[in-house]
Structure 1
């Protein structure tokens, strides 16, 4: 090829490379070993033919024949610095050479024009994912997923995907889990083989036990070295078997589009974790196959309860003077219908912690959260109820639904019905279809008690009690109620809360009063510390992807222990301009564990923490950070943080005893 037909790419300045040295440079995407030797310049293919070692990271050394050679830094293979030929090489051996041109001390290398991109296996699979509506990827690019990463890059360039490079793979899994909990659709968490893949497992377990759709895509070593124990080679099928509903390797002989479709369908339909394993050598194999998609594969038909069961439900409701409704996170999409049903029945609505905000606390029928993280209002109505209508709740022991009561349980999963103990009437069906079927059926007792007036009275009692608790100030930090009282007043009605684990979480559930269409994301059944900030990143990505979430404000809440799990993800939020606010309750200890040690009559041991100044840390990361030590400063600090366009952190010094 003539020099005139080449693309001449600037790769540096002559001052960049002293005489007798080599350096790796990149011309477009071609990796080149640039050489300055014996007053001359040369450029050659940077990859040693042995194991693709980077010659540009090697050195020019004198051999036993007194001739100078470029020595590969990995295994010592030698090449002539100016011709690229090995010792004793023939004309047709050695490294590919590229012409070099020095123009006013600027170094240019001539390379062939870039050929059209050849469609690959991973191009087909990524296109299939986007056809299924997969939009966001959280991950870390690495040596065993580079082909897959490039297919994702092309989708990002085309506007079909968004990519967020995280600092720890565990955060990617939590972000994807939160995204799935919020939207019911999967995001991707991307890693390399070996440790990158295993770092996903905690977040994937969070998704699995909370029924959130997630798609994990892990690189893998090349197929020819799988099994014997190559570098970072582990049995990923076995490692992911328990946490996934679907897990398959992508082989050269696979039907790649159908494999990607099945992974997506499993995640969406089963609301579970799907996993694809991409051996390094398969990722860039050419493919002329078409992508596939969801057409003809998904049914949206709801499960309608049997008419006989609806009639039995109505009969039981007509016999109850004090019915209550308990709703779980799974019922969120039909929250409007549940609120309408509650109003028609005159029944208080108690929520599980995961469902906090499903019926907002400013609704006339709202009784707040039931259970360990709940309000005395909810506990009162649970104790006084003569019938419980449980909608889309899994009866967690933390929620504390009283099993001795008469219970009607409605769920679209038959295995959830009476799972932990028998109920008076299990009803198989979607909660929305159930509410619709019950809408025009008489369901109230002629002498039903006025629980709604009583509900307002109980709220007044609880609000007075919360204000009284502010007098408990012992001078060791801000009271949790003061924080969540101010936060609840200032956040907009479309806020998405991502809460962590610990005393901060209990206080949030108990004290913050929801309004509008606020949502709460949490690590429910797994209860994993560190969930809060990565979950907020996943929620923010969802607000960019989903029309019904656009404009929502994202607020994450944690203690100092939780934030310390993934603190560097604050830099991820800064890098991508994520508009989120983190409320950090700093008490210098794992306060919930200290409390458990005391209640179990154990000595308090190793729960104290050595922390940096978190507000200063946030500023060092390039975000907004403010520290609060006095209750009077809460209003301004939280208001300003919420108004900041980008990641903001409010560090509040709190008393571990005042929860």
Structure 2
């Protein structure tokens, strides 16, 4: 018999004392191993009643000293040598596996593993690969095991990568940041019930910022939908508002087509797509082919109409002080936009979400406009006689002056004139618009030298930033000092994920970009975004050649990092090259400021924190604490030089923003 079996080691004799049972695993088979009266025995670990774990039970002595294994859940007994219950009923017995001991090592014999039978989950995971899903962030659990196994097989085939997170909210934020950075969706995987609902905040971040994401949630078995079984909630309703596409995968579904529709909605609509996988259908056999995007997606270029081009040229060629306001929606067209700005001799202002799309050291760059911006951008907004907006959403946070003449260009027609009418709304892909007008731009001969004015305004602002460094009052480091150093030493091609709070406002004002790509929770403004977003950005650097080798930096306050601190262990587990800059002021500083501004008493914004640098070291990362301005550069440079996760904790003054 032994010649026909696979003998699999399950431990050593010292692992299990006489008179005890334990759960062991041989390949993927869960086994109850028992040791009694000098004998070793093995049976299927699942009680036939409700699959109770027999290996967590006990050995009981019956009449005549007979040994029985008792299920810990409901007390069913089984003979450890035969697997039969006391009554000997054939239909309630357990499978028994042969055991042999060689030296002190215990082996269990299993039949040779049969070939894998392809499942519905396999079919759908293969379709996801074909549609370009490269990374899955998630948590494996009891209601997604069939789907998780299909993902495992794609990972082992080298077609996907998987990152096991500590909180599902972090998975959704990571996937959102991945989509914002690349324009391609990543997936996030959860169980039913609370695992699924934990995704919602991060998915809302993706939705309102137009980032493609594929959410994959387990669900209870179909036969217990509705009555209120364990972790049974109406996921279709829960995800209806946040997802552009949400469908339950049933045994009768066209499974490949569901993946195609989900991916098309994510990619074309730049939105959240959601698939619900009931537990019982995940392992149904399937011989159907996987789907692919071939013939399912059209070209994305939308050219402006001839009339719109003519009207835009008339307005631009008649303006003496035109400015460009660029939002995140223009991130993939910056070469064309910059070339147009140079022809126009026009300053380029960005929204906060668009920070970094043009480097601040470019002659045409005017920095960020709005609450998180600089006086440079505000000055040029005030002086402008024409505003050309490209990929902006006209957020009140930005403050584009509505009474000035405005040309608005966007590939999404619903964004045109969304909050108020504009003089010339143009439906077009931004790169196509720039190409259509660039050759016919004729600047007025008497137009002022706005580029020279830009240089002057930058010098005024930089001089003022230097004077602000003298405001420090011994309660912590001024944030201007931190971002002065980071502006100088951050790699020009770094990807920077910023959180929400005073740290974000300071970053917007003081950090000068040199080509870095900036990620943030824009319209949702969710605290906790920063570090999970950095994980998503790091994953993207593993997937796309144009991102490979780029350093990932994340920035947060102590409040933001405290939302998902254990994800630092995720970064350590997967060797993520992330440098986290943590501005520690001991409070929710932005909220304290708002309370004072609204003439409220400052209440319950103080925080009780550990040493975050020490916490980083405990997690296995590099950690360093900074308490004086002259130590900032050395600490940050050391962290940037480490290939792996690092955290620099900088003690700051909440009032110096």
TM range (shorter): over 0.9
1:368 aligns with 2:367: yes
SS in 2 for 1:234: coil
Per the alignment, residue 576 of structure 1 pairs with 574
Whole-Å separation in 2 of the counterparts to 1:7 and 1:378:
72
Q: TM-score, with normalisation over the residues of structure 2?
A: 0.99
Cα deviation digits, residues 528-579 of structure 1 (max 9, x gap): 0000000000000000001111111100000000000000000000000000
1:127 aligns with 2:126: yes
1:44 aligns with 2:43: yes
Tell me if structure 1 keeps the 8 A contact 2:344–2:441: no
Deviation of 1:319 after TM superposition, in Å, equals: 1.6
Tell me if structure 1 keeps the 8 A contact 2:48–2:92: no
Cα deviation digits, residues 149-184 of structure 1 (max 9, x gap): 111111111111111010000000000000000000
Tell me if structure 1 keeps the 8 A contact 2:245–2:274: yes
SS in 2 for 1:652: strand
Whole-Å separation in 2 of the counterparts to 1:470 and 1:123:
58
Per the alignment, residue 9 of structure 2 pairs with 10
Whole-Å separation in 1 of the counterparts to 2:552 and 2:92:
59
Deviation of 1:66 after TM superposition, in Å, equals: 7.0
Deviation of 1:318 after TM superposition, in Å, equals: 1.6
Deviation of 1:68 after TM superposition, in Å, equals: 3.6
Structure 1's 57 and 321: CA in aligned 2 closer, same or farther, altered over 3 A? same
Cα deviation digits, residues 284-312 of structure 1 (max 9, x gap): 11111110110001112411010111110
Cα deviation digits, residues 415-441 of structure 1 (max 9, x gap): 100000000110110110000001111
Whole-Å separation in 1 of the counterparts to 2:53 and 2:340:
68
Deviation of 1:93 after TM superposition, in Å, equals: 4.8
SS in 2 for 1:75: coil
Deviation of 1:141 after TM superposition, in Å, equals: 0.6
Whole-Å separation in 2 of the counterparts to 1:658 and 1:394:
30
Whole-Å separation in 2 of the counterparts to 1:105 and 1:605:
63
Whole-Å separation in 1 of the counterparts to 2:108 and 2:155:
29
1:647 aligns with 2:645: yes
Whole-Å separation in 1 of the counterparts to 2:92 and 2:480:
75
SS in 2 for 1:355: coil
Deviation of 1:445 after TM superposition, in Å, equals: 2.2
Tell me if structure 1 keeps the 8 A contact 2:534–2:552: yes
SS in 2 for 1:251: coil
**Larger deviation: 10-19 or 598-607?**
10-19
The 5 A counterparts of 1:181-330 are: 181-330=180-329
SS in 1 for 2:109: strand
Whole-Å separation in 2 of the counterparts to 1:76 and 1:240:
41
The 5 A counterparts of 1:500-539 are: 500-516=499-515, 518-539=516-537
Whole-Å separation in 1 of the counterparts to 2:147 and 2:355:
39
The 5 A counterparts of 1:92-131 are: 93-131=92-130
Tell me if structure 2 keeps the 8 A contact 1:614–1:651: yes
Whole-Å separation in 2 of the counterparts to 1:559 and 1:522:
14
Per the alignment, residue 83 of structure 1 pairs with 82
Tell me if structure 2 keeps the 8 A contact 1:372–1:398: yes
Tell me if structure 1 keeps the 8 A contact 2:614–2:623: yes
Structure 1's 454 and 115: CA in aligned 2 closer, same or farther, altered over 3 A? same
The 5 A counterparts of 1:372-411 are: 372-411=371-410
Per the alignment, residue 595 of structure 1 pairs with 593
**Larger deviation: 47-56 or 392-401?**
47-56
Deviation of 1:39 after TM superposition, in Å, equals: 2.3
Whole-Å separation in 1 of the counterparts to 2:491 and 2:39:
66
1:140 aligns with 2:175: no
Deviation of 1:65 after TM superposition, in Å, equals: 8.9
Whole-Å separation in 1 of the counterparts to 2:597 and 2:92:
75
1:414 aligns with 2:413: yes
Deviation of 1:38 after TM superposition, in Å, equals: 2.4
SS in 1 for 2:308: helix
Whole-Å separation in 2 of the counterparts to 1:251 and 1:642:
48
Whole-Å separation in 1 of the counterparts to 2:92 and 2:419:
72
Deviation of 1:500 after TM superposition, in Å, equals: 0.2
**Larger deviation: 61-70 or 419-428?**
61-70
Tell me if structure 1 keeps the 8 A contact 2:343–2:441: no
Whole-Å separation in 2 of the counterparts to 1:219 and 1:90:
36
Tell me if structure 2 keeps the 8 A contact 1:317–1:445: no
Cα deviation digits, residues 358-409 of structure 1 (max 9, x gap): 1110110000000000000000000110100000100000000010111000
Per the alignment, residue 58 of structure 1 pairs with 57
Deviation of 1:353 after TM superposition, in Å, equals: 0.6
Tell me if structure 1 keeps the 8 A contact 2:146–2:279: yes
Tell me if structure 2 keeps the 8 A contact 1:361–1:367: yes
Whole-Å separation in 2 of the counterparts to 1:457 and 1:304:
37
Tell me if structure 1 keeps the 8 A contact 2:503–2:556: yes
Whole-Å separation in 2 of the counterparts to 1:143 and 1:43:
24
Tell me if structure 2 keeps the 8 A contact 1:124–1:289: yes
1:658 aligns with 2:653: no
SS in 1 for 2:122: helix
Per the alignment, residue 432 of structure 2 pairs with 433
SS in 2 for 1:51: coil
Residue of structure 2 aligned with 1:549, choices 547, 550, 556: 547
Cα deviation digits, residues 201-250 of structure 1 (max 9, x gap): 00000000000000000111111111111111111001111100001111
Whole-Å separation in 1 of the counterparts to 2:222 and 2:38:
45
SS in 2 for 1:281: helix
SS in 2 for 1:358: coil
Per the alignment, residue 622 of structure 1 pairs with 620
SS in 2 for 1:275: strand
Whole-Å separation in 2 of the counterparts to 1:428 and 1:99:
72
SS in 2 for 1:143: coil
Deviation of 1:64 after TM superposition, in Å, equals: 7.9
Per the alignment, residue 348 of structure 2 pairs with 349
Whole-Å separation in 2 of the counterparts to 1:55 and 1:102:
21
Tell me if structure 2 keeps the 8 A contact 1:35–1:82: no
Tell me if structure 2 keeps the 8 A contact 1:263–1:275: yes
Whole-Å separation in 2 of the counterparts to 1:602 and 1:344:
50
